[in-house]
Amino acid sequence: MTDIFPAALDGAVIPGGCNDCNAEQHLRQDQPGIWAVGIHHDDTCPTWQRIQAGRAGIVPDTFKGR
């Protein structure tokens, strides 16, 4: 199986991912060939606040603010 991301990107932090704040995208390889990409928003980001409100406080770790 060919990986979508090179293994060297495991743990990479890439700026961007949200038009409303200085978000960062965090890449993590959970298992070979299985990757997670989480966007970390600023705590004051209106998009992040809407996400939190819509989930009623149930927020996966990969989406928690910095």
The verdict on residue 30 lying in a domain is: yes
The verdict on residue 2 lying in a domain is: no
- Phi and psi based region of residue 52 (left: phi greater than 0; alpha: psi -120 to 50; beta: remaining): alpha
Contact 61, 44 (CB under 8 A): no
Question: How confident is the model over 4-56, as pLDDT tens digits?
Answer: 678 888 999 999 999 999 999 999 998 888 889 999 999 899 998 888 888 76
The verdict on residue 63 lying in a domain is: no
- Identify residue 14 by its one-letter amino acid code: I
Q: What is the pTM of this model?
A: 0.66
| HSE (side-chain half, CA atoms, 13 Å) at 66 | 14
The verdict on residue 19 lying in a domain is: yes
The verdict on residue 25 lying in a domain is: yes
Domain count, the chain: 1
Range(s) of the domain holding residue 37: 8-57
